[in-house]
Structures are given as structure tokens and as C-alpha cells.
Structure 1
Amino acid sequence: MSEGGAAAAAASGGLLGDIILDAIARHGDAIAFVDDEGETSYRAFGQMVAQAMERLDELGLPRGATVAQISENCTRQYALMAAAYIGGYRSLTLHAMGGREDQLYILKDSGARILVGGPGRIADAASLARDAGIACYAHQDDDAVGPFWPATPASSALPAHAIGDAEDIVRLAYTGGTTGRPKGVMLSNRALVTNTLMALARIDFPAEIRFLCPAPISHGAGSIVLPTLVRGGTVILQRGFSVSGFAEAARAHRATVSWMVPTMIGALLDAPDLPSDALSSIDTLIYSGAPMESARVLEAIDRFGEILVQCYGQSEAPNTILILDRGEHRAAPDAAGRPFPGIDIRLLDETDGVGEIAVRGPLVMSGYLGMPEESAKTLAGGWLRTGDLGRIGEDGLYRIVGRAKDMIISGGFNVFPAEVEAVIARDPAVSAVAVFGIPDRKWGEQVTALVVPRAGQEIEADRLRDAVRAAKGAVHVPKAIHIADELPKTGLGKPDKVAMRRLYSEGEPSAE
């Protein structure tokens, strides 16, 4: 990473805001952001952040207050996040595609003082703020909602240093809530500085970073924004993902880095009209958020070259627990990688080489907001229990075999969905697959697969069963195979196995 960014982190005692201030000061007239409204230099971005800080002060928000946003990607969204980090507030960014019930619950649970709506979400913000009983403002001019941004430039420059200390909570990141109400993950300066520095130290970024961001910066993709700024690069923000939109932006901006969830990479692979050189400028394609089938990993390497870098993490230890480098993908397409520097990992409750992945280190959250018992349980003994089951291969790489809650017990045997999915995904007719268990009177749980065919292909269920039987044995063979046009997904783009279990729980088991 740059010497300036490292020095800022060290001098500040670990304040995220100081790393942002350092980047703004060092890169001046270089272009920091590009969005639908145009280009913004580092200098102009600094002025925008100063405006936001003055506005928060004018609104009378005390230090430590929660500043919430709901917005599609835009420069002003990150400027307000930066103002919160520098000014000693807590930043909360709602997922724009999340369910309204969850969004309202999160606003109330977090104690947010204001909600700022951005492009495409101002009406949503007004409705949510009204029901939550808090003030609402807009990133853009809007007849129904008052503007957040002052009409005049900031009257004072940015401060020399951020406010706070290393253990102050500066971000609330709510979990997806597929098992109940969302939980508010409390992330400190310490955790987010660690996340940034480890990404810079370990991800093999190109010399010039032009980060094309088609995924919401409110979540995992946002972890690459600050490393880009530290390096003096440019963040190119898109307000959503489409194959054509991504390809066009990659060419127009000569993008060198991107971040995607596996479903986005799958869409690129399946697009019949994607130009052969669409990703020719991309040096580093980081993927995270969900597992990616081995067959698709190898297909992506064959199509796009050795540009894939996998980062494994979760809200409670964001983005940088494990990394699989570009050079390791072909030999180990099923692996999640090896630990980032400074991360301790162990397998708990290990059986036959498989155990729950536990993590210790400065990356880990401070706990769940207002949930001391749940926090103590998840952080027992100083180790974060991730809920993911994994094993270590002879090559020293960790492999994720599934979520502990997703493990299927069928006829008294443990079945790990990821292992069955890996076999089925090798079939040339399969575009995507999810394996899950549903209640069954005979087996306890029956192994069930939901398969998405490739365009123009037909799924042969018996061929898939034969492949699983040959690779894993009879107990792993799906007793029901369903076909769908797409997998149900959560608001974060991850396969929603709770919805799948609910949808297919009426199915009859086979006689096997």
C-alpha cells in the first residue's frame, strides 16, 4: 500500500477517517469518483465531505449518532459515509433492494437520527422516515423531501484529524436476516482500518486502479472503495448491474478492477452477445458474497484469463478472512483460500476433518447492537463463530462445505450441500444449482436440488443423480430435483435457501 496511507493509519491510532483525509490531501486534482452526474476530483470530493460535516453539525447530531442512507450508488452517498467516519458518527447504509419491513426495523433498531435518500430511493426514504419517526433529507433536489446538501460551499476546510478512537463504532452493518430479524453488526475503526490495510497489503491490485463498481457500495463492494482512494485510483459507480451496461462501462473507462457476486460473473458467462474483449482491460476481478461452483470458476478463467481473486468474509468480520489468489484458482477452483495476514483461524467441533470456522483478530466486530447474549455466544472465548463449515486441504487451502445451519442430516448421515452442488455444477447443462434439505418422515431430511439450466439445454435428472452417486455415494444423491429459470435470492444477491425450503417442502421424497 502507499506509505502515506499506512502512516495515516499508524499516526491516528487506527481511525478510518484519517485514512480518508490522507487520500484526499495527497491526490488533489486526480479523479476520485465517476457516477451518473459526472467526474469528481479528490479536491472536489474533499469539499463535498466538508459540506456534509457542516450539515451534520447544523442538524445538531451528537457524536456517535447514527446517520442512515438508502441510495443507489452515487458519489454523494460515499461522501456522507466519509463525513460520518471523520466526524465521529455511525454510518448505516440500508440495502436499496432490501425488504421494507426489514428496512424499517433496522432504522428503529439502530436508533438512526436521520435518513438521507439518494437516486431512485427518495420516495422510499420519505416513507420509511415517516414511519420510523425521524427526519428525512435527499441527496438530490426533490419536491417532497428537503435537500441534505447546502447550496453554498463549506465555510471551513476539512479537519486535520478525524474524531474518535480505535474502538469507537463507526459503522452498523445489518446481517441479511434470513433466519429472523436482522442483527446490527457493530464495526469499529479498528475493524475497518484492518479491513482496508489487509486488502491493500494482500490483494494484488494493478498499478493503476480504475475500480468499476456495479454492486452496492452499501455492502461488500464498498470494501474496495477506500483501498482505491488510498492508491489514488478512480471509483466508477454504477447504479445497478447489467451485462451490457458493465461491458460498456468497462470499455469506456478502461476499468482495471471490479467486484462482483458470483451470480454477476455467471450472467457474463451466459450472455450470448458479450464481446470477446469485454473484460480485456480488467486485471483483477474480486468476487465474494457467496460460493462459486468450481465448473464456473474454470469457465471464467478460460473466458477471461487469470483475473479472479476470491475474498471470503462476513458482516461480522468483513471481506478479508480468506483470500484465494489468481494463480491458485485453476489448481483449486473449489477452495476459499488461505488466511489474510493477522487473522487466526481454527475449526471448532471438528468431525472427520470438517468443523465450524472460527476467526480471531482485529478484523472482528465488537458485537451485535443491543444483543449482549447473542454477542457473547458468537464471540465465545474471543473467537468469532462464523457459522460456516470448512476443512483444510493438503495444499493448506480452506474449503467451505456449507453453513452449519444448512447441513443436511439424511438417514443419520451428514450431507454438506456445497459438495453436492460442486458435482452437479460440472454438468454442461447446468447454469446454477442450490442443494438444501427439507423435512422428510422417512429420512429426517431429504436432499433436494434446485437447478437452473443453461440457455437451450435440458436437465437430465437421472444423469445428475448418477454423477452424485459416483462422486459422493448414495446418501448424497438428491431425492428430488427441481428445475427453475433462476434461483431465489436474498436482497444481497445470495441464494435464499430459506425461501427454497419453504417453496419445496411439500414435495414427495423418492423411494431411494
Structure 2
Amino acid sequence: MISGDPWEFDDTARVDSLLVDACLRFGDAPALLGGGVEVSFEQFLTWARTIASMLTTTGTEPGTAVALLVGNRPGDIVAQLGLWLAGCTVVPLNRALPPTAIQRVLRRSGARRIVSAEGALPSTWADHHLSRMVCVHEGLRVVEVDGPAVPVTVRRDTALVAFSSGSTSEPKAIELSHAAFANKLLAIQSVLRFLPHQRALQVLQLNFTFGQWTSLLTLLTGGVLELLPAFSPGQVNTRLARGDVDRVAVVPTMLRMLLRRGEPGPVPDATGRAGVGPGLWIAGGEPLSVGLGRKVRQRFPGSSITDVYGLSETSTSDLILRAEDHAEGAGTIGTPSPGVSCRIDAPAGEAGEILIRTPFLMSGYLSSEEATRRAAPDGWFRTGDVGRIRPDGRVELVGREKTMISRGAVKVSPLEIESAYAGNPSWTDCLAVGVPDEILGERIHLLIAQQGAPPDPEELRRWGKAHLEPGKIPDSFHVVDHLPLGETGKVDRRAAAVLVRGTAA
């Protein structure tokens, strides 16, 4: 077992209180940038308090879960604080989700209202989910959701309901308390040391807990959070060329996409200087290989890299490979962050499941006490990832115990994809597997067992777009006579992956 530095847990800590304190301390300094808008800390707090008042006036009850439509805009962060000040739990909801995914998030979280702080709701799904518009005022929209009441109750101290794919067909709804998340933010700060007035370029979506903690910690420490609506390699490279970005949080897939643009070697900026990049890359969400880290440092020699590993259930960032240790620890996920202990469920020196003991653990999975008990039956959270502890005390990821597919840092449950396609009676017999890919980590392949005329690939893609999030739509489809079976008669995912690799080769 290895452990991080001791941490004195403050049971009274709250994320909204930390944000309010930051706004009061930093006053007229810039806090948020995006879409041509600049918001100071003072304006941030005033705007958030106005939203909180409007929510209360329109009957949004404290202690309830409210879905917040996010698209990486300044108003998204402001509305999040406004919801907290109104006593609500925030359920970040990506505005790019298709209708069925929206329904799933609302159903699993119990959210009966949706809030949008900037602009109209997406026309692609709004009309299918609204019973009436509750409020429209200065960009703020509050709407009620159609359908019967959902018997889901969140704890009053829950800050966020995050979603993470598991071994079931639907992602689990994770409750993170204010105390757990606030303490974890402070613990990460004790390691990474964000500074006032540093500029962070945010390309991760705010429904991703990685995007949440990097955004919030920037603001808590008086930094400037510059939001991009979506990741674009060309736009990011152009923005970095100005030379004033202190850090960017990314998944390794984004780094691979950045490196594919242009010729190998340092990228000159407008003045001809080489290696223009952020001061710090914060990589997480999927493994960062030694080779990729090396290429990033060669392309952006003025930048350093920190690698983080964690789960939404543990408030993220359980292990951190600090920038100053990257050369020596490349290829590992570092050592436990403060307050966290890590052990491997295997004999010393061997690979096994990574187990985490942490005071920052989730309150539980919503409406699933049994799943919550199984996650940490003895106080150690079972991550489902396989690793080993090196002689130098750093942890090295070996693989995944579960059958999850990791596509561009999005962990996808094969059962979720299979369930979506099985909704069409023509494709009830299907199997999703991941195949290694040098850009995305893995690509999603779907095998469909069907006799007679094969389905139209475009029809299959249209079905995926209508029933799955964008990152979970299969990349390739394979029509087979029957799905491969193991000796016990169950489908054999390993054999299916081998079959797909042979077809794709």
C-alpha cells in the first residue's frame, strides 16, 4: 500500500462558499472569458446571486436536482454557482446530447427542471421534453420537464450528480457532496499550486468531472478561465501561439490530434519563436504513454506535463504524476494525492486491480444502495483498472479489468451500445467491442448477427446518432451470421475482438 500526504478533512467545506470567497477576494480581476464576453469576479458573483434569486422566485426548491445545460460558456459556470446558492444540486447536461441521452440523464438524476443561462435550448430536443417555460429573463431560461414524477431523491449536501459508465447498460448517477468535492479541490491545489491571474484554456466539457475540477480550481485560486465551446486542434494551436496560456487540461487523444497537425518539431508562433504551448499540460481521462509525452515535450519544449488519474466516484485525481517528476516517472500515473491510499489486489510486485481508500468518496450511486455497497465493500473503492506498484513507489497502469471501451478518454459500456441498438427489433443480436487505435485509444466496432440482406450502414449510423451520445456511436459495423460464443454458451467478447481486428486489418 502507498499513501499520499495526510489530509485534515473539513466537514463544513462547500464548493459554493469557496467560490463566493474567491469572488470577494479578487473583485474586478477577470474571471471568465468566452464568446467575446469577459466577466470579472465581482460580476460573476452578482450574476450568480441574481440567478439564485430568480430560481427561488420561480419555485425551484432547495434540495432538488436541477439539470444545467452546459456548452462551455461563461454563463454555464455562473449558473452553476447560482443553483448552488439557491440550495440545489447541479446535474451538468451537455447541450450536444441527443434526445434519448437527455431522457436518460433526467430519469437517473430525478431532475424535473432544466436551466440554461445563455440562449435558447437546442431545438433538436427541447420540444420533446418541456411541459412549460417557467422563466425567460436576460438569457436565463428555466423549463419544466414532461413526464411523471421520478422517485429519485438526492441528499441535501450533494453538489453534483455526475455520470460514469459502468458494467450495466446505463451509466450510474454519482452523488458528490460539497464537502468531498471542496476538500478534494483543496487537496489537488496543495500539489499543483495554481496561482492568481494564471490563464487556463478550457477545452473539456463541463459535464466531465475533469472539466469541472480544472475550471473550479482555476477560479478558486483567482485565475482566468477561458472557455472554448469545443475542442478544435487548429483553434487550440492558434490560440496557444499567442503565448499567454498558463495551462490546458486535455485527454491524451487531444494531444495526439494536436500533434497530427503540421510537421514534426516545434511549432512557431507569429513571431517565429518555437515551442509555443501552455506552461502546463494537465493530462487525464486515459493513459498517457511515454512516447506521447515525449512527442509533446519535443513539439512544445516550453511546456511541462502533469498526469492525473482518478474517477468521478472518488472526486477525481486520486494519483498525480507531478510535472517535475515526469521525466523520471513517464508512463506511470504517479503517487497518491493527499489523503488518498492505494493498494493493488495482488501479491507485491504483481499486477492486480487498483483499490483506492479516500475521504473524498462519493455519497453513493443514486437509487442504487446495492451498487454503492459493491463499489467499496470494505472501505476500498474498486476501480476496475489493473495496475502495479513500481519499486520507486509510482503506480503503472496495465489495463482494464472490465470490458469498458476507452474511446478518446470517454469510457463506454459495450452494454449501453448494445442496448441502444437492440431497441430496433431488426438488430437485437449485437455485440460491441473496442479495437486499438493510435489516435482515439480504441474505436468502437459493432457486430450484428443477421440473416439475409445486411442493414444499410447509414441507417445504422442514424440510429446511433438518435440514441447515443456522439462519442459512443460505433465507428464500424460488421454483419455476421452469428455472434462468437464461448464454451459456456455465452458471447465471447475476446473472440469477437479478434474477429473484428482481422476484418479491419
Q: Which TM-score band applies after superposition, normalised by the shorter structure?
A: 0.7 to 0.9
> Which residue in 1 is equivalent to 2:383?
386
Of residues 126, 147, 172 in structure 1, which corresponds to 2:141? 147
8 Å contact kept, 2:26–2:41: yes
- Length-normalised TM-score, structure 2: 0.73
Q: Indicate the RMSD between aligned Cα atoms, in angstroms.
A: 3.9
1:212 is aligned to: 201
Residue of structure 2 equivalent to 1:257: 247
Does structure 2 retain, via aligned residues, the 8 Å contact 1:167–1:190? no
Match of 1:18 in 2: 17
Question: What one-letter code is carried by the residue in structure 2 that aligns with 1:224?
Answer: T
Q: Of 292, 297, 300, which residue of structure 2 is paired with 1:301?
A: 297
The letter of the residue matching 2:114 is: L
Q: 2:285 aligns with which of 289, 292, 312?
A: 289
Please show how residues 416-431 of structure 1 align to structure 2 within 5 Å: none
> Paired residue for 1:403, among 383, 389, 400?
400
Please state if 1:226 is matched with 2:208: no
Given residue 313 of structure 1, which amino acid in structure 2 is its aligned partner? Answer: G
Q: Please give the TM-score of this superposition, normalised by the length of structure 1.
A: 0.72
Return the offset for 1:377: 0.6
Amino acid at match of 2:314: A
Q: State how 1:16-415 maps to structure 2 within 5 Å.
A: 16-117=15-116, 118=118, 122-124=122-124, 126-127=126-127, 129-130=129-130, 147-148=141-142, 168-176=157-165, 179-205=168-194, 208-219=197-208, 220-252=210-242, 254-272=244-262, 275-277=267-269, 280=276, 282-305=278-301, 306-349=303-346, 353-406=350-403
Of structures 1 and 2, the one with the larger relative CO (CA 8 A, separation 6+) is 2
C-alpha separation in 1, matches of 2:21 and 2:67: 25
Q: Is residue 357–residue 387 contact of structure 1 (8 Å, CA) maintained in 2?
A: yes
Match of 1:474 in 2: none
**DSSP 3-state at the match of 1:373:** helix
1:139 and 1:174 map into 2 onto residues whose CA distance is 30
Name the amino acid aligned to 1:230: L
Gap change, CA 1:39 and 1:508, over 3 Å in 2 = closer
Q: Is the 8 A contact 2:297 2:304 kept in 1?
A: yes
Post-superposition shift, 1:95? 3.0
In structure 2, what is the Cα distance between the partners aligned to 1:237 and 1:250? Answer: 13
Q: Give the aligned length.
A: 416
Cα deviation, 1:131-157, whole Å, max 9, x if unaligned, reads xx575767975xxxx8359xxxxxxxx
Classify the secondary structure of the residue corresponding to 1:147.
strand
Aligned counterpart, 2:488: none
Which residue does 1:427 correspond to in 2?
none
The SS at the match of 1:180 is coil
Given that 2:194 and 2:221 are in contact with CA atoms closer than 8 Å, whether structure 1 keeps it comes out as no
Change (3 A) 1:136 1:383: farther
Q: Which range is displaced more, 92-101 or 59-68?
A: 92-101
In 1, Cα distance between equivalents of 2:137 and 2:351: 48
How many Å apart are 1:508 and its aligned residue?
A: 8.3
Partners of 2:136 and 2:295 in 1: how far apart? 43
Distance apart, 1:403 and its partner CA = 1.5
- Aligned partners of 1:280 and 1:508: how far apart in 2? 38
Could you say if the C-alpha distance between residues 46 and 508 of structure 1 is closer, same or farther in structure 2, counting changes exceeding 3 Å?
A: closer
CA drift at 1:366: 0.8
- SS of equivalent to 1:34: strand
Contact in 1 for aligned 2:310/2:318 (Cα 8 Å): yes
SS in 1 for 2:310: strand
Structure 1 portions without partners, runs of 5+: 1-8, 150-165, 408-416, 419-430, 438-446, 455-487
**Conserved 8 A contact 1:32-1:233:** yes
**2:268 corresponds to which letter in structure 1?**
S
Pick closer, same or farther for the CA change 1:343–1:55 going to 2, 3 Å. same
Matches of 1:168 and 1:193 in 2, distance apart? 12
Conserved 8 A contact 1:115-1:135: no
* 1:284 shift after superposition: 1.3
- The secondary structure found in structure 1 opposite 2:317 is strand
Pair 249,125 (structure 1): closer, same or farther in 2 beyond 3 Å: farther
Give the Cα separation in 2 of the matches to 1:508 and 1:300.
29
SS of the residue aligned with 2:378? helix
Cα distance in 2, alignment partners of residues 190 and 387 from structure 1: 25
Distance (whole Å) between structure 2 residues aligned to residue 139 and residue 94 of structure 1: 20
CA contact (8 A) 1:186 1:369 kept: yes
Identity of aligned residues (%): 26
The 3 A distance-change label for structure 1 pair 26 and 101 is same
Shift of 1:331: 2.6
1:460-479 matched pairs, under 5 angstroms: none
192-201 vs 266-275, which deviates more? 266-275
Please state how far the C-alpha of 1:210 moved relative to its aligned partner.
Answer: 0.4
Q: How many angstroms apart in 1 are the aligned matches of 2:258 and 2:58?
A: 45
Alignment of 1:453-464 (within 5 A): none
Separation (CA, whole Å) in 1 of partners of 2:180 and 2:439 = 41
How far the C-alpha of 1:98 sits from its partner, in A, is 3.9
Structure 2 unaligned segments of length 5 or more: list them.
1-8, 144-154, 415-432, 441-463, 479-492
* Distance change in 2, residues 1:452/1:334 (3 Å): closer
Aligned pair in 2 of structure 1 residues 41, 251: CA closer, same or farther (>3 Å)? farther
